[in-house]
Amino acid sequence: MKRFLFAALGMLLSMAAVPDIVSGARAEETPLLAEHGAWQAFKTKQNGKDVCFVSSKPTTSEPKNVKRGDIFILISYFQDGSVKNQVQILIGYPFKTGSTAQLTIDGKKKFELFTDGENAWARKTETDNDIVAAMKRGAKAVITGTSQRGTETTDTFSLKGISAAIDAVMKACKV
């Protein structure tokens, strides 16, 4: 249950802040700590405590003719240590109910993620840790999923700069 509560908090944080932050509309509320390659590092406050996260947008999204909202990978860290390496995918459309999303690192390491609305997460903290470790060693991440309408999508993310971005948020949030 605790894992779900943190996932829900991450979802609210990301939905409220990240799309606007990346576009610059609310940068004063969630300052950009650093940019490293394809990744950005942010720090904000949640209930008086520091919350840090890294995010990246896809380098390519398929199919191209599909209308979608914002697409991100987020990895969250809470100052109190209750959340570390929490991976969240915002896919820009409602996933098909009951479906899973697939995350593949460099075509080798594969992870199945549960979906809820426009979001996907790992079921266990250990899986989040494995995903982040693989991402730090990898060059690209590919997310595949199916929308409510049955459209299959593929989003490719560069992993260039992810280690430096994570180091920046871990330092900023003292994790």
Q: Which fold has domain 2-172?
A: Immunoglobulin-like (2.60.40)
Query: What is the reported pLDDT for 143?
Result: 98
Q: Who has greater pLDDT, 28 or 113?
A: 113
Enumerate long-range contacts of 42-50, CB under 8 Å, 24 or more apart: 42/17, 42/18, 42/169, 43/169, 43/172, 43/173, 44/13, 44/17, 46/9, 46/13, 46/78, 49/78, 49/79, 49/80, 50/78, 50/79, 50/172, 50/173, 50/174
Can you give the pLDDT at residue 9?
42
- Mean pLDDT on 39-46: 92
Instruction: Determine the average pLDDT of the residues in 77-93.
Output: 91
Mean pLDDT of 64-80: 92
CA angle 22, 7, 19 (to 5 degrees): 15
Band (114; pLDDT cuts 50, 70, 90)? very high
- pLDDT confidence band for 48 (50 / 70 / 90): confident
Query: What value does the mean pLDDT of the chain take?
Result: 86
When pLDDT is cut at 50, 70 and 90, the band that residue 14 belongs to is very low
Residue 29: its pLDDT value, please?
A: 63
pTM as predicted:
0.83
